[in-house]
Amino acid sequence: MDCKIVTIPGDGIGPEIVREACKVLDQVGKVYGHTFSYTEVLMGGCSIDAYGVPLTEEALNKAKQSDAVLLGAVGGNVGNSRWYDVAPNLRPEAGLLAIRKGLNLFANIRPAYLYKELADACPLKKEIIGDGFDMVIMRELTGGLYFGERHTEEVNGVRQATDTLTYNENEIRRIAVKAFDIAMKRSKHVISVDKANVLDSSRLWRKVVEEVAKDYPEVRIEHMLVDNCAMQLVMNPGQFDVILTENMFGDILSDEASMITGSIGMLSSASLNEGKFGMYEPSHGSAPDIAGKDIANPIATILSAAMMLRYSFDLDKEADAMEAAVQQVLTDGYRTVDIMSEGCKKVGTTQMGDLIVTYIK
């Protein structure tokens, strides 16, 4: 298979971690007979420096013409950088919003997986962790409260602010289809999270999810209220396979789920459009505090590249090999500084990438 990938290294540690992910992809290509070709584009602070804007039309068009995008991270030191002395739409992070919108990426997937070897970093008690957890959160990314009508007014001398939460059935259906498709590649269990006891939008959400579920008889579907889900994540995280939810609930629940894994340098993410196209990036930011020191953990980006193989290219075997290689380096005791613990071997960014390459079989 020939895959055209646009890489966006971005700022801070971005270039260091994207380089390692490409190294691992190239090894997968060598072992399994695929070609990954890369076109690098600028986004974020580096694009502001070069072109005066965080994302150029040309960069966006190159991304549109690719099969998938691999992103490092954008942004600098918010309190101390010239990139932030400008209007919000010219700051580095505006590039992110523009590319998500420009590529119509409405489905955000964030896995939360607990590696046995890193269980000490998990803030939950051992009896709650049990055999660990392995879930993905499928969050709707372009609708709901964050994109609804909003205004602030004064009514009879009292200030009042209004935000509106709207979903139509098409928006719900397309994200539900994504969640069920992904459940078919996993343990075939979807928990749809809403607030159907209060909100009309949630009642419609539940109905449409039930309709979609009829097309996936192998997938077990349950509904859970969002307040209960927030509790269940810290009481019994092992029960979740795919959590399907709307924008704001997903924003909050995905941060909660990532916290219980304990290590930000390990968490991948993907944002998908209606078809197979996606943008893949680590969940963390550009970590300007450690940029250029060869100490950043490249694993979140490498696991994001594995998601790219699975969801954009349907290369499940190859994605499994990448995930197994990450598992093996951890089992063998190699750690970057952010996940270091006693008795383990400390390695830098480049060495971690090299080790993962050697484990791709």
**Cβ neighbours, 10 Å, residue 337:** 15
Strand partners for 278: 272
d(CA 175, CA 107): 6
Number of residues this chain uses to bind ligand NAD (CB under 6 A): 22
42 binds ligand NAD (CB under 6 A): no
24 binds ligand NAD (CB under 6 A): no
* Cβ-based nearer residue to ligand NAD, 91 or 310: 91
Q: Which of 134, 251, 294, 354 is catalytic?
A: 251
Selected range binding ligand NAD among 180-188, 195-203, 233-241, 278-286, rule: CB under 6 A? 278-286
Considering only residues 60, 112, 224, 290, which one is a binding residue for ligand NAD as defined by CB under 6 A? 290
- Residue 36, both tokens: 């990954």
324 binds ligand NAD (CB under 6 A): no
Q: Which of 215, 227, 314, 332 is catalytic?
A: 227
Q: Is 169 helix (H, G, I), strand (E, B) or coil?
A: helix
- Are 71 and 103 in contact by the 8 Å Cβ rule? The answer is no
- Are 326 and 48 in contact by the 8 Å Cβ rule? The answer is no
Strand partners for 5: 38, 68
* Cβ-based nearer residue to ligand NAD, 153 or 289: 289
Between 69 and 108, how does the x/- string for binding to ligand NAD read (CB under 6 A)?
Answer: ----xxxx-x--------------x--x------------
16 binds ligand NAD (CB under 6 A): no
Smallest gap from residue 294 Cβ to ligand NAD (A): 11
- Residue 301, both tokens: 């980006």
Is 146 designated active site?
A: yes
In eight-state DSSP terms, residue 239 is: G
Closest by Cα among 281, 262, 268 to 341: 262
Smallest gap from residue 86 Cβ to ligand NAD (A): 14
* Cβ-based nearer residue to ligand NAD, 181 or 338: 338
**Cβ neighbours, 10 Å, residue 338:** 17
Sign of torsion, CA 330 119 253 232? positive
H helices present in the chain, as ranges:
14-32, 45-51, 57-65, 92-102, 126-129, 169-184, 200-213, 226-235, 247-259, 299-311, 316-331, 349-358
Smallest gap from residue 95 Cβ to ligand NAD (A): 9
* Cβ-based nearer residue to ligand NAD, 201 or 286: 286
Q: Which residues bind ligand NAD (CB under 6 A)?
A: 13, 73-76, 78, 93, 96, 264-265, 281, 284-290, 296-297, 300, 338
Catalytic residues: 146, 195, 227, 251, 255
